[in-house]
């Protein structure tokens, strides 16, 4: 199995930045598509960003130009750099891993999940 642990969440003012990290163990992330999702209270888990084979990246329209997903294969870690944060970005952010799927934005397709890290953006 694969285990994922998110870190880097916290409280930040609107316009500020945070860098989330997802540390994987049990499997190497190079074999998986890696995604970031977020979930606010009472809402469904929402796609944020993904990195697929060959380094192809995908972003939700709401975060394009502000968020950047990246991999550090040597550390077996995937990161999410979040800039120009808005209050509506407030959510628990989850890291997911998927193999054998093209549905990068569909949470139900992901095979493994971390426990999440809270991001709170104040106005």
Per-residue pLDDT tens for 37-60?
Answer: 999 999 999 999 999 988 999 999
Q: What is the mean pLDDT of the chain?
A: 96
So what's the pLDDT on residue 68? 98
Q: Residue 99's pLDDT band (boundaries 50, 70, 90)?
A: very high
Percent over 70 (pLDDT), the chain: 100
Which phi and psi (to 5°) does residue 18 adopt?
-140, 150
- pLDDT computed for residue 93 by the predictor: 98
Name the pLDDT band for 34 (thresholds 50, 70, 90): very high
For the stretch 16-20, contacts whose Cβ atoms lie closer than 8 Å and that sit 24 or more positions apart, written own/partner, are: 16/85, 16/121, 17/81, 17/82, 17/83, 17/84, 17/85, 18/82, 18/85, 18/119, 19/79, 19/80, 19/81, 19/82, 20/79, 20/80, 20/82, 20/93, 20/95, 20/117, 20/119
Query: Cβ distance 35 to 17 under 8 Å?
Result: no
| Residue 14, CA distances (Å) to 21, 37, 38, 123 in order | 20, 20, 17, 5
Integer Cα distance of 77 and 33 in angstroms? 12
Averaged pLDDT for residues 4-21: 98
Tell me the average pLDDT across 6-18.
98
Average pLDDT for 84-111: 95
Give the residues across from 119 on adjacent strands: 10, 91
């Amino acid at each position: 199995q694969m285990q994922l642990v998110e870190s880097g969440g916290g409280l930040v003012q609107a316009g500020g930045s945070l860098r989330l990290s997802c540390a994987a163990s049990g499997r190497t992330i190079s074999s998986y598509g890696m995604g970031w999702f977020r979930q606010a209270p009472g809402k469904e888990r929402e796609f944020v960003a993904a990195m697929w084979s060959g380094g192809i990246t995908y972003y939700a329209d709401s975060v394009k130009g502000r968020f950047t997903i990246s991999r550090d294969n040597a550390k077996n870690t995937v990161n999410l750099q979040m800039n120009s944060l808005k209050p509506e970005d407030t959510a628990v952010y989850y890291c997911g891993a998927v193999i054998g799927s093209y549905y990068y934005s569909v949470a139900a397709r992901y095979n493994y999940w971390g426990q999440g890290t809270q991001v709170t953006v104040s106005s």
